[in-house]
Amino acid sequence: MPKRVSWGWLAVAALPTFFIGYFFLYPLARILYLGLSELSLGFSGLEARLIRVGWFTLWQAALSTLLTFLVAAPLTWAVSTFRFKGRALVMALVTVPFVLPTVVVGTAFVSIGFSDSIWSILAAHVFFNVAVVVRTVSAVWSRIDPDLYDTARSSGATEWMVFRYVTFPLLKPALAAAASIVFLFTFTSFGVVLILGGFQYATLEVEIYRQAVTLFDLPLAAALAIVQIAGVTGALYAYSRYQERHTVQWALEAGDNLRLPTTKETVYLWSVTSITLGALAVPLVVLVSRSLSGSFYRALFEDDRVIGTPIASVANSLLFAVVAMALATVIGVLASTVIALRQGTLSRWFDLTLMLPLGTSAVTIGFGFIVALGWPIDLRASLWLVPIAHALVAVPFVVRTTVPTLRAIPSELREAASSFGATSLQVWRFVDLPLARRSMLVGASFAFVISLGEFGATSFIARPNTATIPTMIFRLLSRPGGQSFGMAMALAVILAGLCTAVIMAIDRRGETGTF
């Protein structure tokens, strides 16, 4: 008997499939076509630029990763080893820079005089990514069985030998994971590099923007995008191979194995904590103080003949965030239902395809919209292209928060509902939806804050009358004069406040999902 087609599941999967296919895979294919056509013409005039920009992108990402580990190491050791009052607050405070939009981070460093240098870029990257190392590594380090340490010490091992031969081998996978995340973030960094380095210190991401938006050389921009995609793919492949070869199987303890510090260790502990958090706070404190040093907030409400009324960007951002949140939630929930409840190869590939935008730079996504979405209907001037781009980046977060909850629902509950005559739609509505509602709300909240801070894709597709807060901040920073600079500081504080408020609301929900 031929296998019956599950039309219901096809209908559920149709919208996510169309969304990811038309708004991501099709633009990506167009970029590849344009880039390969440029590369097929030879490397005259292209080779030198590719080497210069590609080499700078590579070594600044590698150096940023190394410096981030050096800065994060003392605090990571402290929170992974000791139980102390205020530890949860320390972990929350160190995470604040990471959840801020990159344009706010760049603006914060401009406010303290860091700009137009490679050191300002490196410092901002360290500021942004310290939380990645602290949280990723401490989550494993704090759960190592202390009996392993005691066994090594009883055999005569010194503290250095315990770390070298016991702790470090067990931490290698976590260290590799943190390094890969930081490297990818800094390799594809856009807002920070554009604001602090401009075109003088252009990475591949910034050069793609320059060629496409400033010089209108779309084929060359596409060729650069291919180089960047190849670099990201190579980094992900290297990380995957490393994890396969060096993963150590061992049982994590159920809870944190922390100990109370001695008097001497307490002094060191609070010294490390104070210095690290104090250094992270400096750009934000200066940003806020500079924004309050004049009538900059009042000036945001004044109309400007060139850029319009800056405060209107807040309304634009909130509107786009609401639409992006709705799109990402609907598409993400439909996709999560298929992934969680339909097992098999197709379901796994569906899940992987939906995750691809996370591994693709936002600039590449925005550039793909420009080169591809002129057919069959020209959407490139559409007002709704901005929230669509934001939703594309946010859908993976909704999926990652919702799928684990749907998979955790006992099948007996669905079977019991079906035995009473409930249809598949009724089972989903009255069983799955109520139990997964909190996870869906968390995913929706992340989609909202991602939309508020998105800058890379928006810089390609936003129009003068649809500027978001990040794009308006960049326009103000591009204008000479202290007034425009102060207004940019004020908008950055507003954006930081909005994002922090949403993140705090997510934390209060008590459920952040798994990414």
pLDDT tens digits for 123-156?
999 998 898 888 778 877 877 777 777 787 887 8
The candidate with the shortest Cα–Cα distance to 30, out of 458, 500, 374, 432, is 374
- Distance, in Å, from the CA atom of 129 to the CA atom of 24, rounded to the nearest integer, reads 27
What would the 3-class secondary structure string for 433-446 be? Answer: HHHHHHHHHHHHHH
DSSP H or E segment with residue 97: helix 87-99
- Distance, in Å, from the CA atom of 455 to the CA atom of 317, rounded to the nearest integer, reads 11
In three-state secondary structure terms, 53 is helix
Token couple for 220: 């060359």
What confidence tier does 34 reach under pLDDT thresholds 50, 70, 90? confident
pTM over cut 0.75: no
Continuous H helices in 167-262: 168-187, 191-196, 204-209, 218-246
Residue 339 pLDDT > 50: yes
| CATH superfamily label, 45-291 | MetI-like (1.10.3720.10)
CATH pick for 10-31+293-515 out of 3.30.110.30, 2.60.120.380, 1.10.3720.10, 3.40.50.1950: 1.10.3720.10
DSSP H or E segment with residue 328: helix 312-341
Going from N- to C-terminal start, the domains of the chain cover 10-31+293-515, 45-291
Question: What is the tens place of the pLDDT at every residue in 469-514?
Answer: 988 988 888 888 888 888 988 888 888 888 777 766 765 554 444 4
- Distance, in Å, from the CA atom of 471 to the CA atom of 107, rounded to the nearest integer, reads 12
Between 118-141 and 263-291, two packed helices, what is the crossing angle to 10 degrees?
A: 140
Q: What percent of the chain has pLDDT over 70?
A: 86
Output phi, psi for 304, to 5 deg.
Answer: -120, 130
Q: What percent of the chain has pLDDT over 90?
A: 10
Fold agreement (10-31+293-515, 45-291): yes
What confidence tier does 3 reach under pLDDT thresholds 50, 70, 90? very low
Beta bridge partners, 304, equal 308
Residue 120 pLDDT > 80: yes
pLDDT at 72: 92
- Distance, in Å, from the CA atom of 173 to the CA atom of 244, rounded to the nearest integer, reads 10
Average pLDDT across the chain, whole number: 79
All residues at 6 or more sequence positions from 128 whose CB lies less than 8 Å from its CB, including other chains: 97, 98, 100, 102, 105, 185, 192
